[in-house]
Amino acid sequence: MKPRHTLPILLALGLILTHGSIGKPYPAQAVQNSKRNVPTNLQTNGTWDIQTVDSEGPVAPEFYTSIALDAMNNPHISYFDRNNDDLKYAYWTGSAWDFEIVDSEGTVGWNSSIALDADGNPHIDYFNRSNGTVMYARWTGSAWNRQPVDIVGWNSGRISLALDSAGYPHLSYINVGDNYSLKYTSWTGDAWDIQTVDNVGWGNWYTSLALDTADRPHLAYCDLNNQDLKYAHWTGSAWDIQTVDRDGQVGYYASIALDFTDHPHISYWDASNDALKYASWTGSSWDIQVVDSGKVGGYISLALDSASHPHISYLSYFDEVSNHLKYVHWTGSAWDIQTVDSNGLVGKYTSLALDSSGAPHISYSDWGNADLKYARLILSPLVLTKEATPSDGLQVGERLTYTLILSGTGVNVQLWDPLPDNADYIADSVTPPAVYSSTARAIMWQGTLPTDTAQIIRFQVTSLISETGGLSAPIVNTAWLADTQYARSVSARSIVNGWHAYLPLIIRRYR
C-alpha cells in the first residue's frame, strides 16, 4: 500500500483521469566560503543549490543540525560549534548568512532543535553537556532568553521541539539519569510539565515529536530494550503506546510527521538490513515500506508536503572517506531517490524542511571539511497561460477557441480544465494527447512537460448565448495545472464577454 491522503485537487484529477469523472529570491551562490561549493546537481525538474554556511573554526557541526523556514522561505539553522563548544544559530537575511552565538557557557548546543513562532522568532532546545541539562532558548526580539528545562545526566539524545498554537514549546528527549526514560515536556505558561512516556533502554538517542491539530503530542522512538520502532500519542487522558515495527533491529533515527488528518508517518533506519524504512498509519493499520537499501538510512529527517507525500533526507555511508547526502520523496506513484551531495564525508546530522512550493531545504554536516552545509532544490517554474479567441464580443453561433500553454522543464503534471456551464464542447476539437471527458465536462491531460518547448493544447466550444434571453452571463473558465511530484499547482482564468457582453447584439435589437 502506498502513501495516502493526496491533495484534494490531485485526488480529483486522479479520479477523472482513471474513471472519466470527477520568498524572497534566494541567490544561488551566496556562501561564506565559495571555494568549497559543490557543483549544482541537475535533476529532471530542478537544480540542487549547495552552499557552505559556516566554515569558521573549524565548525564540524555534530550532535545534529536543525532547520526551519520562515514565511519568506528563508532558512534558519541551529547547530553545535565543536571548535568553540557553543550553540550557534545561522539565518539567511535575504542577501547573506548572519550568525549568532546563542549560548557559550560551557559545552552547550548538543542535539539542538529549532522552531519559528508566528512572528518568525526562533526557539531552540538543546543540551548543556557541562551540567547535564536540557535547555530552552527563545529570541524575544532584542535578546536570547535561556532557561533550564530538565536535568538528564550525561546525554539527552536527540531533542525534538514543536510549538503549539499558542507558541508554547513542547519537546521530547531521553533522560539517561532516569533509567534512559523517554520524556515529554511542555510549557504551561508558568512552568515546565515533565512526563515519563516510556522506558526505552540504554543508549537510545532517537526521539521525534509532532503536535496534532489539537496540540496533542505524537512521538516516534526506538525501544532499545526490544529493538523495536514505537509510537506514542496523548489521547487527552493517557499515553497510547504502539509497536509499529519489530522486524529485526528497527527504529533508529526515527522521524515523525502528521498529515492533515493527524495520521502519523514515520521514517526510520532498519539496522538489521541497512535500509531506510517508512511507516504510515492508514486509519486502521500500519503500512510499512522499504524505501532504500544498501548502507543507507542514518540521520533521518522527514517532512510531508501539502498532499501528505513524504520527503526524507538521510545518510548513505560507504567508508572513512566517502559518505553521501541522499533525499527521497514520494511522487504519487513511486519513490524518487536522489543523491544531493557526494563530495567527501557529507550527510550526517541532516534536518529537512519544505518551503511553500513543496521544495526541500536540508541542513547537514560536512565532516571531512568540518563545515555546516545547506542544500535546497530549486524547482523548475510551473507556468500555465490560457488564451481565448475571440477574447470579447462573442455572438450567437460563434465558436470560441481556447489555447492552453503549459511549461515547466521535466515536470510531471496533471491538467484539469472544466468547461463553464454556458458553453458546450465541440467534438474532436481538443489537441491530442489531451482528452475531453463528457462525464466531468472537462479537458484533461497527464504527462511530463517537454524540456525545450511548451506543451500547447487547444479546444473549441460553442457558447450558449440566447438572443431572447437578454444579457447572458459572461463565459468564465479556469484551468488548473498540478505538479504531481511536489504538490504545487497554478491556475489560469479566462473571461469572455464581461459586463459589456453582447453589445453588438443589443445595438441591433434596439435600432
pLDDT confidence of residue 37:
30
pLDDT value of position 466 = 62
At 43 the pLDDT is: 53
pLDDT value of position 394: 78
Q: Please state, in angstroms and rounded to a whole number, the distance separating the CA atoms of residues 289 and 270.
A: 11
Task: Give the rounded percent of residues in the chain with a pLDDT score beyond 70.
Answer: 86
pLDDT band for position 100 (cuts 50, 70, 90): very high
Q: What is the pLDDT of residue 383?
A: 96
- Predicted confidence at residue 452, as pLDDT, reads 85
- The pLDDT of residue 498: 75
Position 460 scores a pLDDT of 97
CB within 8 Å of 432: residues ≥ 6 apart: none
Q: How far is CA 104 from CA 89, 148, 364, 430, in A?
A: 12, 14, 21, 66
What is the model's pLDDT at position 318?
Answer: 79
Question: How high is the mean pLDDT of the chain?
Answer: 87
Q: What confidence tier does 275 reach under pLDDT thresholds 50, 70, 90?
A: very high
Question: Which domains are delineated in the chain?
Answer: 46-379 (2.120.10.70), 383-509 (2.60.40.740)
pLDDT single digits (tens) 406-417: 999 889 999 999
Closest among 334, 356, 277 to 70, alpha carbons compared: 356
Report which of 313, 213, 222 is spatially closest to residue 262, judged by C-alpha positions.
213
Residues 248 and 270: beta-carbon distance below 8 Å = yes
The secondary structure element, H or E, covering residue 19 is helix 8-19
Over residues 12-52, the pLDDT tens digits come to 344 333 333 332 222 222 222 222 233 334 455 789 999 99
Does the pLDDT of residue 112 top 70, yes or no? yes
Q: Report which of residues 423 and 10 the model is more confident about.
A: 423
pLDDT, average across residues 450-476:
79
pLDDT of residue 35: 26
Query: Is the confidence at residue 5, as pLDDT, over 70?
Result: no
Q: Contact at 8 Å (CB) between 359 and 26?
A: no
